[in-house]
């Protein structure tokens, strides 16, 4: 995991130099073995890394409770008393150690479940000695208990001085080696003790301009870092958190926006000066339906980009079925009108073939040559009509997969590259396409995965963003319903009714084969059950472990209408367009995230008929899962769903956005919850770039120095696009 490296200078406190780049192994109490564990598990290698490994919560350790005051709905409590006795109960994995603990007014049970620790616990926690016990209370068998409590001798803790105690995330491997949250607290406390009170505590060089610190009323940087670990009050913690969140988001936005401005100044683009016969002929005579207002707006935005003399670098967002492909085609026709070729790259062969078929159908009768290049196109057919035609310019539009990146693919004059489902391609792959022309082609990247605005500002902050937020006329919103898995007959009767109308049905399962660990339906058993329930139907089966040829053949059978039902895993999430399919059944829908459910739902609703998405779940669901299912049933708005998904899952696990490709880590900010701060950071960065475009104002010197240090150590801003 990459971490931002910060430009700390040597700190002189108590006449000692504290170099925060010092390896963590030199911190008292750590040593080589623990240092290796901290590095492999948490990425902590220096004092600096430890300082920026923030607690995930703080708990007030100033108050003691009496046992008779405790209830199971309390978050964390501490009580003072003594252990009366130990006993062990249960067998095997249910074995547990119980300590009966009293404060003289009541009795609770302290419980441990890890048998390997029982001997150590009984040896180190003495009967009759006074202890302070801290933990979260539970109820079992009508008695209050505290599982795996923290226990300290009462004479070693000064509760009045403990204040808000930090809690740090640690891994299972760390816990097994004796490194838990308390260990992390001891390490940070030791580091803080190195910064004692003379001449001034917690002095760190500032990174932000003084005027900005005053304007936003930010606490000093060193104070904020201290207070994030050991705040004197809840207000001190709030102010410290705000300072560090803003700083983190601000430098990310400053880096992105500075890179984007530099590229705009340095990278010229082809000038598409006019709209000509190709575009106008298609618009007036071949357009399959009237464009929506959103499609017209997006085309205008791209025309403006491509006529500006700058390279277009635009992200086009739009729900499945919103008409992105048509917009991409019309943009390509503008390139053709100006004497340039265009290329569309798709992530899978079936999606590339689908685009090829769509383009050929829409452009039938027009003097536009479209070719398809995938891994399946080989030999003479590949060499002569396609590669030679692309090199001479006879091929106007080339559609393909990764095959178009090969060195043998040469364009005469590539002016526009369209990348579909862009999160499935790496930066290096896209860069290879850009280099196929002396002047980089205009770039349009498309995604059917709606990306929340705050995340788009961070992940794709250097791209201009266009959004298609209307469905084409004649499309009916998909009706989403929730079924319990026990209602099989009701579900089957609905399937029969749709198939009787001549429609087709998808059935999606989360697993290919039955899992012993998870009690959820699998595709193989589901396929057999459906064949038994519908003996008169022809049913296809598709999953990721099939050979590509077999998988494509089964998909094609369904696309051609030779089978009425397609039983599949999520391999159909991207790249199947069957307007006749009107029902999407998702088994064990509780196993899918919101974004993935929305993507799967988008496989239907592509024709003029009413379509349905059926979410089948177990009856027993968590509160979060119930909320996800409710959101799916209430709205078809992909952006609303994406915002909700971001809040449920957090940015690190958001389906479809490939956050693992982010060029930076967030130590404390949360894109899902800090949307207003993201906007403030972006607005502030834009204003500073307007005021100091040449990065030469003395009052901003330390800020630019800090940004260059970030660049040099971890962040390559060119990776963000």
Which pLDDT tens digit goes with each residue over 149-185? 989 898 887 776 667 889 898 888 888 888 888 899 9
Q: What domain range includes position 629?
A: 479-635
Helical pair 221-229 and 181-193, crossing angle rounded to 10 deg: 150
| pTM, 2 dp | 0.63
Q: What phi and psi values does residue 610 have, to the nearest 5 degrees? A: -65, 135
Assess if residue 466 is contained within a domain.
Answer: no
Claim to verify: residue 491 and residue 541 sit in the same structural domain: yes
Q: Is 419 helix (H, G, I), strand (E, B) or coil?
A: strand
Q: Is 202 helix (H, G, I), strand (E, B) or coil?
A: coil
Q: Which of 95, 125, 157 is where one domain is finished?
A: 157
Give the residue carrying structure tokens 């070729």: 341
Claim to verify: residue 144 and residue 168 sit in the same structural domain: no
11 neighbors 195 (Cβ within 8 angstroms)? yes
Claim to verify: residue 45 and residue 169 sit in the same structural domain: yes
DSSP string, 368-385: --EEEE-TT--HHHIIII
Q: Which of 612, 635, 658 is where one domain is finished?
A: 635
Cα–Cα distance between 36 and 30 in angstroms, integer? 10
The torsion defined by the Cα of 579, 581, 584 and 585, in degrees rounded to 10, comes to -170
* CA 486 vs CA 489, 510, 535: distances in Å: 8, 18, 21
Claim to verify: residue 15 and residue 120 sit in the same structural domain: no
* 680-707 residue pLDDT tens: 998 999 999 999 999 999 999 999 999 9
User: Both tokens of residue 28?
Assistant: 């008292």
Claim to verify: residue 364 and residue 332 sit in the same structural domain: yes
Q: What is the pLDDT of residue 414?
A: 93
How many angstroms from the chain centroid is the CA of residue 642? 10
98 neighbors 86 (Cβ within 8 angstroms)? yes
Cα–Cα distance between 545 and 554 in angstroms, integer? 13
Overall average pLDDT of the 434-445 stretch: 81
Cα–Cα distance between 390 and 399 in angstroms, integer? 11
User: Both tokens of residue 111?
Assistant: 């419980």
Q: What is the mean pLDDT of the chain?
A: 83
Handedness of CA 635, 639, 643, 646 (dihedral sign): positive
Assess if residue 260 is contained within a domain.
Answer: no
* 441-461 residue pLDDT tens: 998 988 877 676 666 666 666
Most confidently modeled range among 54-63, 92-101, 471-480, 707-716: 92-101
Residues in CB range of 607: below 8 A, 6 or more apart = 579, 580, 582
* CA 119 vs CA 116, 125, 134: distances in Å: 7, 10, 21
Partners of 540 in the β-ladder: 566
Cα–Cα distance between 97 and 90 in angstroms, integer? 9
Q: Which of 617, 635, 653 is where one domain is finished?
A: 635
Give the residue carrying structure tokens 């050991």: 230
Q: If 0-12 CB within 10 Å is exposed, 13-18 middle and 19+ buried, where does residue 698 land?
A: exposed
Q: If 0-12 CB within 10 Å is exposed, 13-18 middle and 19+ buried, where does residue 210 land?
A: exposed
* CA 333 vs CA 338, 384, 713: distances in Å: 9, 24, 43
Give the residue carrying structure tokens 């620790």: 117
Residues in CB range of 228: below 8 A, 6 or more apart = 54, 55, 237, 240, 241, 244, 668
583 neighbors 534 (Cβ within 8 angstroms)? no
Give the residue carrying structure tokens 């040829």: 549
DSSP structure class, residue 404: G
Longest dimension (CA), the chain: 94
Overall average pLDDT of the 368-379 stretch: 83
- Overall number of domains in the chain: 4
* CA 498 vs CA 541, 581, 603, 612, 682: distances in Å: 19, 9, 16, 10, 50
The H or E element containing residue 265 is helix 234-266
More confident site: 233 or 496: 496
656 neighbors 676 (Cβ within 8 angstroms)? no
User: Both tokens of residue 161?
Assistant: 């001085």
Peptide bond into 199 cis (omega under 30): yes
Claim to verify: residue 604 and residue 542 sit in the same structural domain: yes
Q: What is the pLDDT of residue 649?
A: 62
**Confidence band (pLDDT; 50, 70, 90) for 33?**
very high
Claim to verify: residue 39 and residue 78 sit in the same structural domain: no
Assess if residue 706 is contained within a domain.
Answer: no
Q: What is the pLDDT of residue 687?
A: 95
Partners of 373 in the β-ladder: 400
Partners of 313 in the β-ladder: 443
* 385-416 residue pLDDT tens: 889 999 999 999 999 988 888 888 899 999 99
Claim to verify: residue 114 and residue 50 sit in the same structural domain: no
Claim to verify: residue 524 and residue 539 sit in the same structural domain: yes
Overall average pLDDT of the 477-506 stretch: 90
Residues in CB range of 452: below 8 A, 6 or more apart = 639, 642, 643, 646, 671, 672, 675
**Confidence band (pLDDT; 50, 70, 90) for 426?**
low
Claim to verify: residue 601 and residue 628 sit in the same structural domain: yes
Residues in CB range of 350: below 8 A, 6 or more apart = 552, 555, 575, 576
Claim to verify: residue 428 and residue 538 sit in the same structural domain: no
Claim to verify: residue 153 and residue 190 sit in the same structural domain: no
Assess if residue 682 is contained within a domain.
Answer: no
> Any idea which of 606-610, 659-663, 686-690 has the lowest mean pLDDT?
659-663
Q: Is 236 helix (H, G, I), strand (E, B) or coil?
A: helix
DSSP structure class, residue 117: G
Cα–Cα distance between 596 and 653 in angstroms, integer? 12
DSSP structure class, residue 369: -
Cα–Cα distance between 117 and 114 in angstroms, integer? 6
Q: Say which CATH number the domain at 329 has.
A: 3.40.50.300
């Amino acid at each position: 995991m990459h971490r931002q490296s910060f430009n700390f200078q040597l700190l002189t406190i108590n006449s000692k130099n504290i170099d925060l780049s010092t390896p963590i192994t030199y911190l008292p109490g750590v040593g080589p073995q623990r240092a290796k564990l901290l590095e492999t598990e948490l990425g902590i290698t220096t004092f600096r890394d430890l300082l920026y490994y923030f607690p995930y919560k703080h708990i007030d350790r100033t108050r003691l409770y009496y046992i008779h005051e405790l209830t199971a709905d309390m978050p964390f409590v501490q009580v003072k008393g003594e252990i009366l006795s130990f006993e062990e109960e249960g067998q095997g994995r249910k074995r547990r150690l119980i300590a009966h603990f009293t404060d003289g007014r009541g009795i609770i049970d302290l419980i441990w479940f890890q048998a390997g620790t029982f001997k150590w616990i009984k040896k180190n926690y003495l009967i009759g000695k006074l202890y302070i016990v801290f933990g979260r209370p539970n109820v079992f068998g009508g008695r209050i208990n505290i599982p795996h409590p923290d226990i300290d001798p009462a004479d070693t803790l000064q509760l009045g001085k403990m204040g808000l105690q930090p809690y740090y995330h640690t891994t299972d491997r760390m816990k097994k080696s004796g490194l838990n949250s308390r260990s992390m607290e001891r390490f940070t406390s030791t580091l803080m003790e190195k910064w004692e009170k003379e001449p001034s505590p917690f002095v760190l060089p500032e990174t932000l301009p003084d005027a900005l610190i005053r304007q936003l009323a930010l606490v000093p940087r060193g104070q904020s870092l201290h207070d994030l670990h050991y705040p004197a009050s809840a207000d001190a913690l709030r102010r410290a958190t705000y300072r560090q969140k803003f700083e983190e988001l601000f430098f990310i936005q400053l880096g992105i926006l500075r890179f984007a401005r530099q590229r705009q100044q340095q990278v010229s683009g082809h000038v598409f000066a006019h709209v000509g016969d190709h575009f106008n002929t298609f618009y007036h005579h071949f357009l399959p339906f009237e464009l929506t207002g959103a499609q017209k707006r997006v085309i205008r935005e791209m025309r403006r980009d491509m006529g500006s003399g700058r390279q277009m670098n635009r992200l086009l967002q739009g729900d499945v079925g919103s008409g992105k492909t048509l917009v991409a085609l019309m943009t390509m026709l503008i390139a053709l009108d100006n004497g340039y070729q265009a290329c569309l790259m798709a992530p899978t062969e079936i999606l590339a073939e689908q685009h090829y078929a769509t383009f050929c159908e829409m452009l039938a009768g027009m003097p536009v040559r479209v070719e398809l290049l995938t891994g399946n196109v080989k030999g003479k057919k590949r060499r002569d009509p396609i590669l030679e035609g692309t090199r001479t310019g006879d091929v106007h539009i080339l559609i393909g997969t990764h095959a178009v990146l090969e060195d043998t693919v040469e364009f005469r004059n590539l002016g526009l590259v369209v990348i579909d489902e862009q999160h499935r391609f790496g930066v290096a792959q896209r860069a290879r396409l850009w280099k196929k022309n002396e002047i980089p082609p205009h770039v349009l990247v498309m995604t059917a995965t709606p990306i929340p605005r705050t995340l788009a500002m961070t992940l794709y902050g250097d791209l201009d963003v266009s959004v298609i937020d209307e469905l084409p006329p004649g499309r009916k919103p998909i009706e989403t319903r929730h079924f319990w898995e026990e209602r099989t007959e009701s579900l089957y009767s609905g399937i029969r009714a749709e198939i009787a109308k001549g429609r087709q049905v998808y059935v999606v399962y989360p697993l290919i084969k039955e899992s012993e660990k998870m009690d959820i339906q699998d595709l193989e058993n589901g396929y057999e059950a459906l064949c038994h329930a519908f003996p008169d139907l022809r049913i296809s089966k598709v999953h990721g472990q099939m050979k590509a040829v077999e998988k494509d053949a089964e998909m094609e059978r369904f696309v051609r209408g030779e089978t009425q039902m397609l039983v599949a895993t999520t391999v159909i999430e991207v790249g199947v367009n069957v307007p006749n399919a009107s029902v999407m059944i998702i088994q064990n829908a509780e196993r899918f995230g919101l974004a993935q459910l929305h993507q799967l739902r988008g496989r239907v609703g592509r024709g003029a008929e009413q379509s349905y998405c059926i979410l089948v779940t177990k009856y027993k669901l968590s509160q979060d899962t119930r909320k996800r299912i409710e959101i799916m049933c209430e709205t078809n708005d992909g952006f609303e769903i994406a915002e909700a998904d971001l809040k449920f899952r957090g940015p690190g696990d958001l389906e479809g956005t490939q956050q693992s490709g982010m060029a930076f880590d967030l130590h404390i900010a949360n894109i899902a919850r800090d949307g207003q701060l993201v906007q403030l950071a972006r607005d502030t960065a834009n204003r500073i770039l307007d005021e100091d475009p040449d990065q030469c104002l003395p009052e901003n010197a330390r800020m630019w120095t800090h940004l260059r240090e970030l660049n040099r150590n971890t962040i390559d801003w060119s990776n963000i696009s």
